[in-house]
Amino acid sequence: MRMFQATGFVAAIVLCVTATASAEMASGPQVGETVGAYTVTKVTGNPDDGVADGKTLCYRCKMGQRPVVMVFARTADAKLAKLLEKIDEELVEHSDDKLTAFVNMIGPDAESLKKTATDFVAEHGIKRVAFVVPEESENGPPDFKIAPEADVTVICYKGGTVKANHALVKDALCCETIDAIVEDSSKLVEAD
């Protein structure tokens, strides 16, 4: 009986590790690469960023050399809300370091993405994170190579250089991956 329990326990660990490993993939600029300019429309969120809702601009350019958590999301759900709640806490804690964040909603229909973003921000009371829709809304800017199978891609960068990248398939965003992303976002404000 004990051997059966031990075997079941080991199988559960292997399954969990395998699921986590297969959940991450290459999507977006990788560590050490530069985050290029691209055009977006700001939809909502972060009223203190100096960008009016509906304005078209290069939001990445607007952030300049600041430490940034940039998210590409296909699904606006409770898991994304939990991630953004944690990132928002980091933004408050590191406001003197000018840490900032924005979410790119991506998918085939730019107008429905704008509505989704507006509804999501209102529902979850997101204050400090801006939501934008890229001009190339289906998969984001082509040079970024956002994987079509990635539901969420999080790129942490500073001075335009990627310091961390997390790309996850649908439903892979969980407490462990959120904690890893938050840890990488807090490292952005550490001295180089």
What CA–CA distance (Å, rounded) separates 90 from 108? 31
Which of 149, 156, 144, 141 shows the shortest CA–CA distance to 171?
149
Q: Which contacts (CB < 8 Å, 24+ apart) does range 16-20 have? A: 19/172, 20/172, 20/176, 20/177
> DSSP per residue over 23-61, as a string?
HB---SSPTT-B-----EEEEES-GGGS--TT-EE-HHH
Chain mean position to CA 157: 11
HSE of 42, CA atoms in CB hemisphere, 13 A:
21
Distance CA 36, CA 141 (A): 9
What is the rounded average pLDDT of the residues 2-18?
A: 42
CA–CA distance, 132 with 137 (Å, rounded to integer): 10
pTM of the predicted protein model:
0.87
The pLDDT tens digits for 73-129 are 999 999 999 999 999 999 999 999 999 999 999 999 999 999 999 999 999 999 999
Cα first-last separation, the chain: 54
For the stretch 155-166, pLDDT in tens is: 999 999 999 999
In this prediction, residue 190 has a pLDDT band, given cuts at 50, 70 and 90, of confident
pLDDT, tens digit, 9 for 90 and up, residues 144-156: 999 999 999 999 9
